[in-house]
Chains A and B, each alone.
Chain A
């Protein structure tokens, strides 16, 4: 036998207990109701069998975690093919994003490209234009790094005000994975860069195998620094929707440049000024001029719990405030948390030293007495950059930049433990 669905689960017990009184006292009610039958009665899982090892060759999360999934916001885009979904960051902890719920952004859908059909071309100002197969790529010396990939549009819906009610929706266009791949500079060296002459004014144009192509121009200095041609993420092959079998990893830079299903790398003497770096991924300022080539994602953070999708349900007492922080300029060295909308701050604990251009997890172990909070977090990176408020950003940029909104987020935590996305003075 496996699961007895008639047995009272802990969840059902607590739900019925909560129905008798305020949800906030459910835990105490469970304690007061006498000996806990989950302890005093032999439970089926303590007596019968669980699943055999042949049941799940490749597993998914247990069914109770069914809400930890990507979500789409229909009204954001004209259709679901050129669109975005959101990582359930409100429910995650640590820093590594499970690939199965890591956000997607496609411009002509997630294509299926077999390793056998995969080709990578290097051409342009190189000594020898080359074609690689997937097998060729696995024969170059590899590197491993953890990096965040944040969509340039993350938090973009919030420029004009508090709009979407949940960290997943306001900050979930991000994932953080451990990549294995070949440095781009290794492949460029294989083709030879003598023909390119002086490198500092040269560019690399990269494009994908999908219909949108997503072509972007990258300055040679970055291409020769830390860009990876990656084929593994979090230990396994890239997911189809994340560029299988090969994607570009562009540490610290806006997610649009992380070209998926990478098929061509061209050395050029100027930026191509493609659609994705003129019409899109340019940031319009209040006076109507627009910034282009805003590649780096600045320091940013968000409290993931408590948050609108992760309310306080345990009532007053000990509370873990947690969230994540990141910077495209380097390491996050400190995160401050405010409970009063930025009037006073206390420094949170960073769980593990931050890696370069990767997420860090922060905790503030505190006590909640049931009062209203205006909860904020503020990241500081190793360049001394302090995450700005939305007012500071708007003062420089206006409200029509669309991209690169790294403002401090405020959650209004109410007496009933619920939290709401708000703006404050």
Chain B
């Protein structure tokens, strides 16, 4: 039996099986297959495979995700979070497109096509020139604008220290009488039953 087996269940995974399923790309680019592509190659591929949802310039159609734009909006009232404005690692773009896009026809793109489409998305975000050849060799030349925009969960320091207490307030907990400041029915976006003003499934009258 192979090393490590305690119950002797399962069998050894074969190299072909591992390479078929383990297609992840690490943030440093580890896992990238050989290949290359630029935005000029990527444009017709994007138009054919992606633009119906994401727009010809990766700007998004209707409610579908916008992949470009939003630079400098992360602290705004309505941030626009795209590959260019938000995503920290290029590896995630390649990995996600390769593994899970196009939506409804995933895992249909060759490595060269994924390089080219990734390059087109970067170009649409003004991050590379249209003839920049994206490949494992040039991978580290691309700078993602929001690479330093993330911190590891700090709730233990910023919240738990404040909100852990033995004695929560039980009486006279607010300085002034409580007032209603906002009502959901003003927005009126909850699904209704036809002709019924109550929410979709107000409990049946007994």
Contact = CB atoms under 8 A, between A and B. Distances in A.
A77 B53 CA distance: 13
A386 B201 contact: no
Contact of A313 (B92, B159, B174, B206): B206
Interface residues of A, number: 119
The 3 closest A-B pairs by CB, nearest first: A192-B4, A341-B178, A288-B75
Contacts of A107: 100
Contact of B168 (A91, A164, A266, A345): A345
Interface stretch (B40-48, B80-88, B125-133): B80-88
Contact of B163 (A10, A215, A392): A392
Contacts of A380: 168
A90 B24 contact: no
Given A107-B100, A343-B172, 10 more contacts: A69-B201, A123-B13, A127-B3, A190-B6, A191-B4, A273-B89, A278-B89, A310-B202, A399-B77, A400-B78
Interface in A87-123: 88, 90-91, 107-108, 121-123
A425 B179 contact: yes
Interface in B92-107: 92, 95-96, 99-100, 103-104, 106-107
A421 B183 contact: yes
B110 interface: no
Interface string A277-320: 01100101011111111111010000001001111010000000
A82 interface: yes
Contacts of A14: 205-206
Interface of B: 2-7, 9-13, 17-18, 21-22, 24-27, 53, 62-65, 74-75, 77-79, 81, 83, 86-89, 91-92, 95-96, 99-100, 103-104, 106-107, 149-155, 158-160, 162-166, 168-174, 176-185, 187, 189-191, 198-206
A162 B149 contact: no
A107 B106 CA distance: 12
Contact of A215 (B24, B77, B173): B24
A273 B92 contact: yes
Contacts of B7: 139-140, 190
Contact of A162 (B22, B152, B182): B182
B153 to A, nearest CB: 5
B75 A287 contact: yes
30 contacts: A11-B206, A18-B205, A71-B191, A78-B65, A82-B103, A107-B100, A123-B18, A127-B2, A128-B2, A129-B18, A162-B184, A169-B190, A189-B6, A190-B5, A190-B10, A194-B4, A211-B100, A273-B88, A274-B24, A279-B96, A294-B153, A294-B155, A296-B153, A313-B205, A343-B178, A384-B165, A385-B160, A396-B159, A422-B183, A425-B180
B202 A162 contact: no
A181 interface: no
A108 B106 CA distance: 10
Interface stretch (A33-41, A130-138, A220-228, A349-357): A130-138
A74 B203 contact: no
A121 B18 contact: yes
Interface in A406-425: 412, 418, 420-425
A293 B150 CA distance: 10
A293 B153 contact: yes
Given A211-B107, A343-B174, A132 B163 contact: no
B183 A424 contact: no
Nearest to B105: A211
B184 A420 contact: yes
B22 A264 contact: yes
Nearest to A164: B190
B74 to A, nearest CB: 3
B20 to A, nearest CB: 9
Contact of A420 (B10, B25, B74, B185): B185
A78 B63 contact: yes
Given A128-B4, A298-B155, A163 B201 contact: no
